[in-house]
Chains A and B, each alone.
Chain A
Amino acid sequence: MNILLSTPDAALAAQLEERLREAGHTVGRWTPAEDVARDVVELLVIDGLDDVVAAHDAPCDVLALVDEAELRLFPECPREISDFCVKPVSPGEVVARVAVIAARPPWRERIQQRLLAVAVESAGDLIEITSPDVLVEYVNPAYERVLGVTRDQAIGQTPAHLAASGAQSSELLTEIEEALARGERWTGVLASHTRDGRLVHFESAISAVASPKGELTHRLAVMRDITERLARQEALLEANRALSEARDAAVAASRAKSDFLANMSHELRTPLNAIIGYSEMLLEDFAGDASVAQDLTRIKTAGTHLLSLINDVLDISKIEAEKVELLPDWFEVSDLVEQTAATARPLAQKNANRLSVELAPDLGQIHADRTRLRQVLLNLLSNACKFTKDGEVWIRARRLPDGEGGSIELEVKDTGIGISAEHQIKLFQPFMQADSSTTREFGGTGLGLAISKRLVEKMGGVISLESAPGKGTTMRVRLPVSLEERTSSMPPVSLREPLGEDAPTVLLIDDDPAVRDLFTRQLAKRGFRTRVAATGREGLALAANLRPHAIVLDVKMPGLTGWEVLSALKLSEATSNIPVIMLTVMQQREVGQALGAVDYLMKPIDPTLLTETLRRHTGHEAAHVLVVEDDEPTRELVRRTLEARGLRVTEAEHGQAALDILHEASPDVVVLDLMMPVMDGFTFLHHLRRDPLFGRIPVVVATARTLNDDERAALEHAVQRLIEKNAFSRRDLLDAIGSEIDHLVAAASRRAPST
């Protein structure tokens, strides 16, 4: 046999030559065009040469033979192996290119291999290696432990998750096969039965191991037992559900109580009307008879007291039943304080108190419910006057620069009997006067402060007190300058007509109010109904009730995290089929998909991407707009504007072009310019309105032309909206077109479900 030898190492070449000659071969030198050899060849190569020569005569692939031999030694560096090749050049002649062989000595590989083996053996996760025909070749001790089968029992068998447990759907198994066939790693949750019949869940990753030639040689599954974690989550959710039900029941009971009280109070007023009225009449009759008049006064006073009690009970029950609606407006703080002080002055004089009003010069106006704020101040003033004798009562008002727009502090201070720390705690609770003897001595219902506190809080403020027995009392009310009712900051979209019945509902679960607000605005414009939840718990409840078409779920939330919510959604029968899109700030696609998310989006949310993603997963296609406009830059701008709103756009440069593609494009809405070559907008409209299929689709005309009255009248009948370009800046025009289209699309989806 004639062997050509190629290596840059002269000493090695000499050694090789000698060995080969001893073996009875003739040896020559061969220099490859590119010299790839950089390192020392191992002796084992020489050992392998006999095989090489033998293989040459046999009809087999010499290269593969060497690879095979080397693979066993250098499992993780196939590239270097392939650089070392021996190939037959002609019968009886072999070229041995001794190229790069592992720089590391084999013992290091062996140690590393042993370490890897130890790692695999001691891993807490289950590791399973199967042959391409899916029979177990290796399982680690964790596998044995969790599934209750020994390695010997497992080897040669079908893996547990495939054995007739019925825990996996056939779709899931197909999905795994397809992923592996594509050379991808599959991740997801698998279930298996243990030997003793227990169902366990695994967070699993399955990957295919291929030879350097791409043949599937093994499958490697790494599985983590999440059974307990799921059980804990389920238990937690169950507990939460129970708690939330109990809370709902309690709230409902409290409402029922408040409703009852409100009704009762009305019923009680009618007989009281008679008691107070007749005693007053009799008082007029018997004004001269002191003893009768005294008794009548008692009846009347008791009646009046009862009435104020009923009023207060009615008030607090209304507040607790959330039936109090504030009627905020802007008014001068100083006016209110002075008027209230004037009302309270007789009360102050009754106990010989001096009442002073102190107003800061920069008070200005406040946006609040005037009547309710007056009620609060009057209550504080009347308490101060009642519990102070021969003393002083002040009412002060000043503006504090804190918060957005600042706040107003109203202070009522007295030199009266004061309240002990112990009693201060109970003061704001209904029917908790500082002392039960207080009622007898001072009168009142004991509800005033409870009502005041609730009213102040409802107006977005706080009430606090500072007091000590014998040292007087200071009550402070702090209110924001503007009571922004949450309804007034509703997005403008709420002014639009409501969306169609079939508009897909999307639930967003995110703790960030800014994201929730933005999400609602963006999606409402694009034909989605939105619901939002601020916490995972709230989101889970809403998801189960609403069964939205899709859920967008933030990963990072306090309380239940997005992952936990996702697992819970997937575990519950009611919600497991709803596509969930995760919102993350990091690339965490795999975790999401393992837990069952269909997609994920990065924050900050790109509205177009969000819309596309949602449309894809809810099966609701984007509405299609045909833009007919001859000016290319304008057309481009309109297209971009509309696409940014999540709409599909087809362009036509004039009326004839638009008519030609009308049926093919099948638009939902047309944006039309009037002045165009070939066919103008008027002619286009004339033809369009006679088209049996598209004759009724909405048209928005955007024109730079100044229209005469006849033209305007003609258009007003033929189009849904006329936008004259010269009336707008370009930005305004685009916005007008965009919002008009949104409006029409929403209306169209209400009439007929989009396909």
Chain B
Amino acid sequence: MARILLVEDNEMNRDMLSRRLERKGHVVLIAVNGLQGVEMARAERPDLVLMDMSLPEIDGWEATRRVRADSEIGRTPIIALTAHAMDGDRQRVLDAGCDEYETKPVEMDRLLQKIERLLRASLRPVGGG
């Protein structure tokens, strides 16, 4: 399956999400803050990033921008995880460079669908070229 980088500071959420993704056969890499998230993305080249938005060191918004600005890993699909369900959040997240977003609590089936869709989309041009 895919190698997914989970950037999440809350230990319980991290544990639960990583275990549930692993059960579905994914390899889950963990980063606990935004800075580490960007470093891991560079070092490990994951297929997809699940990015919590409220993170210590640098927040998910900034981490997303740094990933996008990096020519090597700039095209990695990113799904934002946000606890806010405010109007306009979706647009803000997309504007920041994320491909998708999911509000917490995460609805697992929906998240898995989004992951799969993004992976297929990002594999297509790579597979073609």
On A, residues with C-beta under 8 Å from B are 266, 269-270, 272-274, 276-278, 280-281, 284, 307, 311, 314, 318, 323-325, 327
Contacts and interface: CB of A to CB of B under 8 A. Distances in A.
Contacts of B86: 318, 323
Nearest to A314: B85
B87 A274 contact: no
B105 A273 contact: yes
Given A266-B84, A270-B83, A284 B106 contact: no
B56 to A, nearest CB: 15
Contacts of A278: 16
A277 B10 contact: no
A325 B88 contact: yes
B23 interface: yes
Contact of A307 (B13, B23, B105): B105
Given A273-B16, A273-B105, A327-B87, 6 more contacts: A266-B84, A273-B12, A273-B104, A274-B16, A277-B106, A281-B23
Contact of B16 (A266, A269, A277, A314): A277
Interface string B88-129: 100000000000000011101000000000000000000000
A87 B87 CA distance: 98
Nearest to B87: A325
B20 interface: yes
Given A266-B84, A327-B87, A273 B106 contact: yes
A240 to B, nearest CB: 36
Given A281-B19, A281-B20, A284-B23, A273 B13 contact: yes
Contacts of A266: 83-84
B73 interface: no
A269 B107 CA distance: 13
B17 interface: yes
B26 to A, nearest CB: 15
A273 B104 CA distance: 6
Nearest to B108: A280
Contact of A270 (B10, B17, B108): B10
A281 B16 contact: yes
- Which 8 pairs of residues, A with B, have the shortest CB-CB distance? A273-B105, A277-B16, A274-B12, A273-B104, A276-B105, A272-B105, A269-B83, A266-B83
Please classify the interface of chain A as helix (H, G, I), strand (E, B), loop, or mixed, using the class held by over half of its residues: helix
B83 A277 contact: no
Contacts of A281: 16, 19-20, 23
Contacts of A272: 105
Contacts of A276: 105
Contact of B87 (A270, A277, A284, A324): A324
Nearest to B103: A269
A492 B65 CA distance: 36
A259 B108 CA distance: 29
Contacts of A327: 87-88
A97 B87 CA distance: 98
11 contacts: A269-B104, A273-B105, A277-B17, A277-B20, A281-B16, A281-B19, A314-B85, A318-B86, A323-B87, A327-B87, A327-B88
B89 to A, nearest CB: 12
Nearest to B88: A325
A115 to B, nearest CB: 77
A323 B86 CA distance: 9
A60 to B, nearest CB: 96
B105 A269 contact: yes
B127 to A, nearest CB: 32
A277 B85 contact: no
Nearest to A311: B85
A136 to B, nearest CB: 74
B7 to A, nearest CB: 16
Given A278-B16, A284-B23, A270 B85 contact: no
B34 to A, nearest CB: 18
A277 B20 CA distance: 9
Contacts of B23: 281, 284
A307 B19 CA distance: 22
Nearest to B104: A273
A212 B20 CA distance: 109
Nearest to B81: A273
